[in-house]
Amino acid sequence: MKPLKEMTVLVTGGSRGIGAAIARRFAAESMNVVIHYMQSHEAANETARSCMRMGATNVMTVAADMRSKEQLLRMREKLEAAGMVPDILVNNAGIAHYGMLADVTEHEWDDVMAVNLKGMFLSTQMFMPSMIAQRYGRIINVSSIWGMSGASCEVLYSTTKGGMNAFTKALAKELAPSGVTVNAVAPGAVETVMLDNLDAGEKEALESEIPLGRFAQPEEIASLVYFLSLPESSYITGQIISPNGGWLT
């Protein structure tokens, strides 16, 4: 097994929010960091610059639509050519959807499913063979508390995250003999742009439901993801870990 500082992490959806915080956390350990994005080119570049300032050995940004196998294959080719095939894959890319199930269109259903579930499946399938070959790897899926408890008016989003949790548990059993662990981090409410649809009163009401009395910071989620990537975490696999401030126990 190569030293941690020589390993490469790929963070999908790494241009902003939780993904950017995860990229910076690995950069702080002088690792090789790949930041995937779909359209947020400048945000990805800014995250890359911050990763370099924090001490990353190498940083690379790559664009791909998680719904497209062809684009993801081209992304893998670029990483292979650059010697940046990931030892650690963080499946963070995803989109939210808010609305009554009765109002969800077939197109909306297919689109959210394609990004949140199909994209995770494709990226995992593409990068796990190299992990199996070297008998070491970490796959960490960023899920949601709603994948565990469900949320009214977020049936579609909750369904994708529940599927991600099931994927995590099943794949962990499949890859365990190869020394590859698979876990999911399922945050509660996190202070990111995904909460921008709430006004001040709604945010205050939501915070009052959380025993710790506040939202999580992206850096707190990133720390858990980093911990699960460590060689010392080799006995943790198939787990859905939810940092939610006591909101769901």
Catalytic residues: 157
Closest CA to 237 of 188, 179, 187, 186: 179
Confirm if 144 and 161 have CB atoms less than 8 A apart. yes
Q: b/e map of 89-113 (b: 16 or more CB within 10 Å)?
A: bbbbbbbebeeeeeeeeeeebeebb
112: left (phi over 0), alpha (psi -120 to 50) or beta: alpha
| Tokens representing residue 19 in the block | 């993904």
Please enumerate in sequence order all residues whose Cβ is within 8 A of that of 244, keeping only pairs 6 or more positions apart, or say none: 145, 186, 187, 188, 189, 210, 216
Q: How far apart are CA 59 and CA 35, in angstroms?
A: 8
